[in-house]
Structure 1
């Protein structure tokens, strides 16, 4: 018996178990599901119907004997998992011509998707359908149907595979009974690859696969065993021998990591680790300045006493509203600018109004906030200064802050008042770009970077 020791890295993390029912709720673990060596939730080589939490992303690397897999798995929806995979076969050259290949090994790209059709409940198992390697050259092209059911610390999985997952040919293809076209699977791929081969779906040989995962009393540790439906005789990587169809693994979880030790094909030991994060739970700390307090009894008697530079600085720093131009006419103060920090229009107007109310005298009866799109006035918010001060200062409950202002279009009279400090001069922009690609025959990694500089006058 030949034994090999190979390294396996799979960036995954805490995959959350789906909500289970009465007898299993006490056993739900937030880091329950692993990634397969191909990427995607499953056991070792085979997928299961389990899904990661919505928003989860797993970055995976697996060194699995002759194969090396890089993959990214993303849980777009609670019922849909997608995986993009990059494969390297370390003992196979890029092409049949050694002069062309050099020392670069064979590469392949693929896409997997899995859909949950039935969520597990007290009586029924979880049921999913999956498609493997639908966007590459079809090296691992396969489709499968899977069932998963949990009993306490045991999670049982059963699947029916076609294509790469059906090579054991130990099952009858049920679709072949419906139409003859499902009885034979087309070989090869169309064009140069990268196309979805719909005519291959659920066709050709079929095989049963499945396994069991056990959560040990020591919560970081779990064990899994699976029945492998592949015989490895037609794999792209040569010299893969199989002494047993049973694969076993032990996974140890630590914080966001999942360390795995596996024994595959009855002759190969692999080990690896995983890490995952979740876009739904990622947050960026955001410290907002406190909204300005409104002093109902403003000591500024007239507009001539206003320090407009300080006012504009406060509008920028506290309200996120850099001002391009201002106008004071009659009893109205108009500001023209763009909101940069606060996407909620009500929060934006409240902050702008509080800054204006704290800096402007009481003889300014109306504030006009004109938002610009580029240099074009787009929308006006008119604030009743007196009512705003009452609401912001907590002097009345007869109306709210939202009742003190009104949004409307920009009329011609207000547009003519827009007079920015500069109307002509030189302008320009600077744009950087970076393009990269993997797996080209010229080199494994190619990149291009540059800077685009534009200038103009107006």
Structure 2
């Protein structure tokens, strides 16, 4: 794909400013078929669609870190059927899944090019498996790339593989494609010969056009599925045009006689400019008023004053459950439901309290609650806070006027509780649930209505219910029956989808409490998810001042019937994990490692890495390895996938706290499958 991203040059006189980046047919930053050593700005996210007969490519590319690009791609090979069974394949073409990564090895300087290592289809069937070492150097509006390609992208050859000088094992490259998900370490940088690749990109200053010419290292005589075709010229040419900040289009000629066309949608999650402009009610101005020397405790001693204050805070979408006061300080226990950033809510609450309470108020103690758990506390000193608020601007957490710490275990002695039990809350919203790459249809989808109702019986005990009502789906196209040799803990998903299209998604009762200021506990029972119900528990250690957290959970569950009502099947299992979380100081990245027993009774480890960007978007991925062999696991070899969590704040002109999560895994198998439990403690207290 050919699009532009603005950046800044590092060497005046050699690098044009702004530096612009474009994307290749395959999705990542590059020329046409060949990637470059360039990387998009940190947080860049693009969806790409391209056509170069016989390939239709759909890909998602993300600049996960400033030096790491990742791409997930589906390739429809339109002149090949999905399988050898023509009746089963129907009209669906063969689909190939692939993962790409590109790592920057060195940055560009006045004399040294930017150098990157790129690996295409490194964890897939290997149909298009290619490794690249690339260097890119910019001179004014021209950006030159030169490198070497191994594998599919270097099939033209012409140069002896330099790695064969190190070891003879690099001479042989397995031409057979494996099952999706295989990682063929033995093939990387192997083969008798490699090919030179490269090209040039010309992006005129002040223009939205970009022109490209490249030398293609693939001669297309060794394509997978015996799908070889002629290449008139090894030179590809193309042009791209940036329509606006979101859309770009491209057109070109490849192999000398094949038209390339594509379109791309993109934005940058690393910049708050990607957020919709907000038209929230302005934060309350701090009033100039006559000194009031009454104590805060005296003013709030009357219930009508306390309930009046609660009503005032509800207008700021802050639900206060209790408060406590001294002569100079007020403590409130509250949950805010509007703002993605807790600092926004705390700042608004502090403004209201300064205006409503006497001038003797010197500090506000805000105890944040999630599911009635005290997750953290923030103390705001009102004097420095007032000085920091200029022109009614909202201020975040600043050490000059606030202190953040661990919250108390529960309601402290002497608090005035303003909540009555049982309390009831409900929500309704539409949900669209797609999955991709099924044999029967490329997209299997359901549009359904989510009805959620929560009952809080007391400070610790709650019941959470989710009902799903089907509106529209194409589950009737699902025909393949799982042949897994493992217990069918997930692979019967088609039966659950069709027979339980309308059903109970969750009916979970939880008792949640804090044994200490830094430990959290949960005991649960009921219907945990669409496929399992049972009993279980969890214990978590987490301190506000510590980047490391640890948790353990154990559950005895029984498989639910396909109709997702109250019946169960015969399968039962004990599953649980010991988990370690580390909030890394680099790039706001969270690492989670879990070890334990999975739903099929297999034992192993899951590694989950995710990063949160300034917009609130979270990108992450996981991989799981258990004692199930790749043969027993089936296609995919081991479980892995990616997910993106989108805050609704990204799409609305008013602030929203909620988010939507989209996940993708190559194929659903039975090995390495975890229970999908509601109210997991780490997620709950990290809101």
Q: Pick the TM interval, shorter chain.
A: 0.7 to 0.9
Identify the residue that residue 106 of structure 2 maps to in structure 1: 118
Paired residues of 2:198 and 2:214 also in contact (CA < 8 A)? yes
C-alpha distance 411-295 of structure 1, shift in aligned 2 (>3 A) = farther
The answer to whether the 8 A contact 1:161-1:208 is kept is yes
| Residue 280 of structure 1, CA deviation | 1.7
What is the aligned partner in structure 2 of residue 28 from structure 1?
A: 17
Name the larger-Rg structure.
Answer: 1
Matched, 1:337 2:334: yes
- Give 3-state SS (helix, strand or coil) of 2:311's partner: helix
Question: Structure 2 matches for 1:12-91, cutoff 5 A?
Answer: 13-16=3-6, 19-25=9-15, 27-30=16-19, 32-91=20-79
Partner of 2:263: 273
Query: Which residues in structure 2 correspond to 1:200-349 (within 5 Å)?
Result: 200-204=187-191, 205-216=193-204, 219-236=207-224, 238=227, 240-256=229-245, 257-281=247-271, 282-286=274-278, 287=280, 288-293=282-287, 295-298=289-292, 303=299, 307-318=305-316, 320-326=317-323, 335-340=332-337
The SS at the match of 1:233 is coil
On the 8 A contact 2:434/2:443 being kept in 1, the answer is: yes
Partner of 1:184: 172
C-alpha distance in 1 between matches for 2:385 and 2:220: 74
Change (3 A) 1:416 1:194: same
TM superposition shift of 1:308: 4.3
Q: With the length of structure 1 as denominator, give the TM-score of the two structures.
A: 0.81
Shift of 1:341: 5.1
Match of 1:355 among 352, 357, 361: 352
1:235–1:74 distance in 2 versus 1, CA, 3 Å = same
Residues in 2 aligned to 1:265 and 1:442: alpha-carbon distance in whole angstroms = 33
Shift of 1:19: 2.4
Is there any run of 5+ residues in structure 2 with no aligned partner, and where? Answer: 389-397, 449-467, 469-503, 512-687
- After TM superposition, give the deviation of residue 133 of structure 1 in Å: 0.3
Matched, 1:197 2:195: no
CA distance in 2, matches of 1:148, 1:405: 47
Compute the RMSD of aligned alpha carbons: 3.8
In structure 2, the residue corresponding to 1:262 is in which secondary structure? Answer: strand
> What residue is the counterpart of 2:522 in the other structure?
none
**Distance in structure 2 (CA, Å) of the matches to 1:364 and 1:353:** 11
Q: Deviations over 1:370-426 (max 9, x none)?
A: 544433456667789xxx4798499xxxxx996799978648993464545324477
Unaligned segments of structure 1, at least 5 residues: 1-9, 395-399
How many Å separate the matches in 1 of 2:411 and 2:26?
65
1:95 deviates by 1.0
Aligned length: 436
Hey, what's the Cα distance between the residues in 2 that align with 1:363 and 1:260? 65
Q: CA 1:266/1:283 → structure 2, altered by over 3 Å: closer, same or farther?
A: same
Change (3 A) 1:335 1:265: closer
The yes-or-no answer on 1:454 pairing with 2:451 is no
Residue 3 (structure 1) aligns with: none
Please say if 1:175 is aligned against 2:172. Answer: no
1:196 Cα deviation after fit: 1.5
TM-score by length of 2: 0.56
1:313–1:116 distance in 2 versus 1, CA, 3 Å? same
Is the partner of 1:203 in helix, strand or coil?
coil
| Matching residue within 86, 92, 109 for 1:104 | 92
Contact 2:374/2:410 (8 A) holds in 1 = no
- On the 8 A contact 1:426/1:456 being kept in 2, the answer is no
Higher alpha-carbon deviation: 124-133 or 296-305 = 296-305
Residue pair 2:240, 2:250 contacting (<8 A) in 1 also: yes
- Contact 1:295/1:393 (CA < 8 Å) preserved in 2? no
What is the alpha-carbon distance in structure 2 between the residues aligned to residue 100 and residue 391 of structure 1?
68
Check whether the contact 2:373–2:410 (CA below 8 A) recurs between aligned residues.
no
Structure 1 partner of 2:559 = none
After TM superposition, give the deviation of residue 218 of structure 1 in Å: 6.7
Task: Name the structure 2 match of 1:445.
Answer: 443
Matches within 5 A, 1:108-147: 108-147=96-135
Greater Cα offset, 308-317 or 297-306: 297-306
Q: Distance in 1 between matches of 2:363 and 2:189?
A: 70
- Measure, in 2, the Cα distance between the counterparts of 1:97 and 1:439: 17
The yes-or-no answer on 1:414 pairing with 2:444 is no
CA distance in 2 between counterparts of 1:111 and 1:155 reads 26
Q: Distance in 1 between matches of 2:384 and 2:194?
A: 75
